[in-house]
Chains A and B, each alone.
Chain A
Amino acid sequence: MWDFIWNDFLVTGEPIIYGAMASIVLATVGIVFVLTYFKLWKWLWDEYLTTVDHKKIGIMYIIAALAMLFRGGVDALMMRTQLALPNMNFLNSVHYNEIFTTHGTVMILFMAMPFIIGLMNVAVPLQIGARDVAFPFLNAFSFWTFFFGAMLFNISFVIGGSPSAGWTSYVPMAGPELSPEINQNYYLLALQLSGIGTLATGINFLVTILRMRAPGMTLMKMPIFTWSALITSIIIIFAFPILTIALALMTLDRIFSTHFFTLAGEGMPMMWANLFWLWGHPEVYIVILPAFGVFSEVISTFARKQLFGYKAMVYAMCVIAGLSFIVWVHHFFTMGAGAGVNSLFSITTMLIAVPTGIKIFNWLGTMYKGRIRFNVPMLWALAFIPNFTIGGVTGVMLGMASADYQYHNTYFLIAHFHYVLIAGTLFGMFAGLTYWYPKMFGHKMNEKLGKISFWFTVIGFNITFLPQFFLGLMGMPRRTYTIEPEWMPLNLLSTTGAFILAAGFVIFTFNIYYSARYEPREKTGDAWDGRSLEWATTTPVPHYNFATIPYVNSHEAYWDMKETGATTYDESKLEPIHMPSYKGLPIIMSAIMFVASFGLVWHWFWLAIPGLLGIIICMVIRSFDFDEGYHVPIDEIKRTEEQARGRKE
Chain B
Amino acid sequence: MSEHTEHSESGIPVKHVIGFIASIVLTLVAAYTTVMSGLPVPWIIAIIMILAVIQAVLQLVMFMHIAEKNPIPQYGNILFGFFIAAVVIAGSIWVMSFGMHDMDMNGGSGGGSGEEHSEH
Contact = CB atoms under 8 A, between A and B. Distances in A.
A369 B108 CA distance: 61
A578 B80 contact: no
Contacts of B47: none
B92 A274 contact: yes
B3 A234 contact: no
A580 interface: yes
Given A274-B95, A337-B95, A131 B1 contact: yes
A238 B1 contact: no
B120 A238 contact: no
A335 B11 CA distance: 54
Contacts of A275: 92
Contacts of A389: none
Contacts, number: 76
A234 B80 contact: yes
B3 A338 contact: no
DSSP class of A's interface residues: helix, strand, loop or mixed?
Answer: helix
Interface in A265-320: 268, 270-271, 274-275, 278
A329 B95 contact: yes
A405 B113 CA distance: 16
A626 B9 CA distance: 11
A492 to B, nearest CB: 34
Contacts of A334: 120
B72 interface: yes
Interface string B60-94: 00000000000010100100110110011001101
Contacts of B74: 210
A27 B99 CA distance: 54
B87 A338 contact: no
A460 interface: no
B11 A626 contact: yes
Given A234-B80, A337-B99, A341-B98, A278 B92 contact: yes
A238 B81 contact: yes
Interface of A: 130-132, 134, 136, 206, 210-212, 234, 238, 242, 268, 270-271, 274-275, 278, 322, 325-326, 328-329, 334-342, 405, 577-578, 580, 623-624, 626, 629
Given A274-B92, A338-B100, A339-B116, 5 more contacts: A130-B1, A134-B4, A210-B74, A338-B98, A578-B1
10 contacts: A134-B4, A238-B84, A274-B95, A329-B95, A338-B113, A339-B99, A339-B116, A341-B99, A342-B99, A578-B1
